[in-house]
């Protein structure tokens, strides 16, 4: 017999104010100085990629790898039955009916059931609210208090995120990290839109200039995707997930999920200003004897977060739909201090860097990391891509060719040496370089070819000291720079080998 929700009292589509009040009364949330509620997500303060599964179903096009792990269908049914039995044992649960996809032609309805009201608030913040009659296509069940038994349910450990394409269902349990909800549905859209609608999905942020020119920002966590797209001089379309049709782009979400570690009103005024009302802060720490947030405190996690509706960003584009992109930025945080702060890519180089999806983790961001650690995440989003990387790469290649978009690589990481020796590129310089690229100021600038990577480096840029533009100039030991540059290039080449197999 199919498992269903039965005797539970379901709070359906409550307002943010009601959800915050309930989360507070249950002891799950505490109000911050700005009025935004603060919650803890428990043991898990980030996603657990090794515990994400697709149900192994006939005729699916899943590309099985370390991020797309198979789960037998019998285990899916056991998990769903036991998870729903757990939810039915609760006095109350919460439900939100929302959409993924700002373009009405491609949106997907999601009914999201959660064990706690704060998770329901997150869902309300992050997805698109129905204006009229709601059509549900997919169902998501999230129960942080339910733990799987690997011997019975076929999981790796007690936490899990399971997607069934056939049953149009997502099961999340054993973890209170709300990012699993967001990325679970993003993963679904990354399957549905390319295979069923011939629409490219992308892990990128997007904004639009006064003249309607659209820019995309690809990048892994910590590279500045959210920060750089929240530009006061441009209108935000979205900070993380988009799709590209023949007409232009649209946001897959209705909100933003920003990192807030070391957040300040000077460096990130739009994000700082969004922390109010129904914005939901996760795993941040209060200053002693107050309800003011210490954004520098990493004692719980470096992955402190806030979710808020897109409307909290001044002059954001709503509905979040834009035209065909004119500029595309690949963001990388190069902790080796090798890559130029900005460089111009030709179409072949764009595909090379897109498939590699490079950044570097630094000491303190992950247990056991003592020195910079290169990280390659295909298409800047490997954990969320259920199809072969070549599918997304070929679609992007075609989009670049037909649109004429210019692709840039921007290093938001180190200069003058690697982590621990050099210093991180100042945000104001990175913003100036991106602004120059967007305005066309770099179009006719004389460039120099990087001797190792072959990309074109502008030799001057308004608002940026010229010596910073060529990274070799910032190193005292030029021969060491060339050695480190060759090392990084070799890592790129080795990683890229798997795409030619």
CB atoms within 10 A of CB 327: 18
- Catalytic one of 32, 41, 164, 226: 226
How many helices and strands in the chain, by DSSP H and E? 11, 30
Residue 203 a catalytic site member? yes
Catalytic residue chosen out of the listed positions 45, 47, 213, 485: 47
Count the neighbouring beta carbons within 10 Å of the beta carbon of residue 385. 25
Which residue is catalytic, options 136, 221, 365, 447? 221
CB-count exposure of residue 86 (10 Å: 0-12, 13-18, 19+) = middle
Question: Among residues 110, 111, 377, which one has the least CA distance to residue 220?
Answer: 377
Q: How far apart are the first and last CA of the chain?
A: 45
pTM above 0.85, yes or no: yes
Write the burial class of residue 296 (CB in 10 Å: 0-12 exposed, 13-18 middle, 19+ buried): exposed
The pair of three-digit structure tokens given for residue 125, joined into one six-digit string: 């913040």
Residue by residue, pLDDT tens for the chain (501 residues) are 467 898 779 999 999 999 999 999 999 999 999 999 999 999 999 999 999 999 999 989 999 999 999 999 999 999 999 999 999 999 999 999 999 999 999 999 999 999 999 999 999 999 999 988 999 999 999 999 999 999 999 999 999 999 999 999 999 999 999 999 999 999 999 999 999 999 999 999 999 999 999 999 999 988 989 899 989 899 999 999 999 999 999 999 999 999 999 999 998 999 999 999 999 999 999 999 999 999 999 999 999 999 999 999 999 999 999 999 999 999 999 999 999 999 999 999 999 999 999 999 764 444 444 567 899 999 999 999 999 999 999 999 999 999 999 999 999 999 999 998 999 999 999 999 999 999 999 998 999 999 999 999 999 999 999 999 999 999 999 999 999 999 999 999 999 999 975
Contact 275, 308 (CB under 8 A): yes
Nearest to 45 by CA among 188, 142, 233, 177: 177
Q: Show the DSSP H helices in 89-178 as ranges.
A: 117-126, 150-153
Question: Which of 182, 235, 305, 431 is the catalytic position?
Answer: 305
Measured CA to CA, the distance from residue 173 to residue 158 in angstroms comes to 8
Residue 176 has what pLDDT? Answer: 98
Verify whether residue 226 is a known catalytic residue. Answer: yes
Tokens for 177?
A: 């990290």
Q: Is 239 a catalytic residue?
A: no
Determine which one of 52, 80, 203, 259 is catalytic. 203
Positions of E strands within 165-231: 169-173, 200-208, 214-218
Place of tokens 């100042």: 426
Length of the chain: 501
> 318: exposed, middle or buried (C-beta count within 10 Å: 0-12, 13-18, 19+)?
middle
Retrieve residue 155's tokens: 């999981």
Residue with tokens 């030619």: 500
Write out the H or E segment, with its range, that includes residue 69: strand 69-71
Going by the DSSP 8-state scheme, the letter that residue 287 receives in this structure is P
β-pair type (285-286, 241-244): unpaired
The verdict on whether 183 is a catalytic residue reads: yes
Pairwise CA distance, residues 360 & 49, whole Å:
18
Q: Which helix (H) or strand (E) holds 192?
A: helix 179-192
pLDDT at site 222: 82
CB count in 10 Å sphere of residue 257: 22
d(CA 251, CA 234): 16
pLDDT of residue 501: 57
Closest CA to 190 of 383, 465, 447: 383
How, if at all, do strands 305-309 and 280-282 pair? antiparallel
What confidence score (pLDDT) does residue 369 get?
45
CA dihedral 268, 269, 271, 274 (to 10 degrees): 170
Give CA–CA dist 253/238, Å, rounded.
7
Contact between residue 368 and residue 171 where contact means Cβ atoms under 8 Å apart: no
Cα–Cα distance measured from residue 406 to residue 293, given in angstroms and rounded to the nearest whole number: 40
Q: Give the residue among 421, 357, 412, 366 at the shortest CA–CA distance from 389.
A: 357
Whether the bond between 22 and the residue before it is cis, its omega within 30 degrees of 0, is no
Instruction: Please tell me the distance from the alpha carbon of residue 93 to that of residue 87, in angstroms, as a whole number.
Output: 7
For residues 440, 443, 445, 446, the Cα torsion angle rounded to the nearest 10 degrees is 160
- Identify whether the C-beta of residue 87 lies closer than 8 Å to the C-beta of residue 8: yes
pLDDT at 362: 66
| pLDDT confidence of residue 423 | 95
């Amino acid at each position: 017999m199919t498992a269903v929700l039965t005797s539970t009292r379901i709070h359906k589509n409550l307002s943010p104010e009601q959800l915050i009040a309930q989360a507070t009364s249950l002891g799950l949330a505490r109000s911050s100085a700005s009025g935004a509620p603060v919650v803890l997500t428990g043991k898990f303060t980030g996603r657990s990629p090794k515990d994400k599964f697709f149900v192994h179903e006939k005729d699916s096009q899943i590309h099985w790898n370390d991020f797309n792990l198979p789960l037998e269908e019998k285990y899916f049914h056991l998990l769903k039955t036991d998870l729903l039995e757990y939810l039915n044992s609760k006095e109350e649960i919460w439900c939100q009916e929302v959409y993924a996809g700002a373009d009405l032609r491609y949106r997907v309805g999601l009914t999201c059931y959660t064990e706690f009201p704060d998770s329901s608030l997150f869902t309300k913040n992050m997805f698109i609210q129905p204006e009229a009659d709601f059509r549900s296509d997919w169902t998501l069940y999230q129960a942080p208090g339910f733990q799987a038994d690997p011997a019975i349910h076929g999981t790796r450990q007690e936490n899990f995120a399971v997607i069934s394409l056939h049953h149009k269902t997502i099961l999340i349990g054993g973890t209170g990290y709300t990012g699993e909800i967001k990325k679970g549905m993003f993963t679904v859209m990354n399957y549905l839109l390319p295979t069923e609608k011939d629409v490219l999905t992308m892990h990128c942020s997007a904004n639009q200039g006064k003249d309607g020119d659209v820019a995309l920002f690809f990048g892994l966590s910590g590279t500045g995707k959210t920060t750089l797209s929240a530009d006061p001089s441009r209108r935000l379309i979205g900070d993380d997930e988009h799709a590209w049709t023949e007409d232009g782009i649209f946001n897959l979400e209705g909100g933003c999920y920003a990192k807030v570690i070391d957040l300040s009103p000077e460096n990130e005024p739009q994000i700082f200003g969004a922390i109010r009302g129904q914005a939901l802060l996760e795993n941040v720490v209060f200053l002693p004897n107050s309800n003011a947030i210490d954004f520098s405190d990493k004692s719980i996690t470096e992955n402190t977060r806030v979710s808020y509706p897109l409307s909290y960003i001044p002059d954001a584009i709503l509905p979040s739909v834009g035209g065909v992109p004119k500029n595309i930025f690949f963001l990388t945080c190069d902790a080796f201090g090798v890559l130029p702060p900005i460089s111009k890519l030709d179409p072949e180089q764009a595909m090379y860097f897109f498939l590699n999806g490079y950044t570097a983790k630094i000491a303190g961001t992950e247990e056991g990391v003592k020195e910079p650690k290169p990280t390659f995440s295909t298409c800047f989003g490997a954990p969320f891509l259920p199809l072969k990387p070549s599918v997304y790469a070929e679609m992007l290649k075609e989009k670049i060719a037909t649109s004429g978009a210019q692709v840039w690589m921007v290093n938001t990481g180190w200069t003058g040496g690697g982590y621990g020796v050099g210093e991180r590129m100042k945000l104001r310089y990175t913003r100036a370089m991106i602004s120059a690229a967007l305005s066309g100021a770099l179009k006719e600038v004389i460039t120099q070819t990087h001797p190792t990577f072959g990309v074109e480096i502008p030799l001057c840029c308004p608002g940026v000291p010229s010596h910073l533009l060529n990274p070799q100039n910032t190193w005292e030991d030029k021969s060491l720079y060339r050695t480190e540059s060759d090392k990084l290039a070799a890592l790129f080449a080795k990683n890229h080998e798997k795409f030619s197999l």
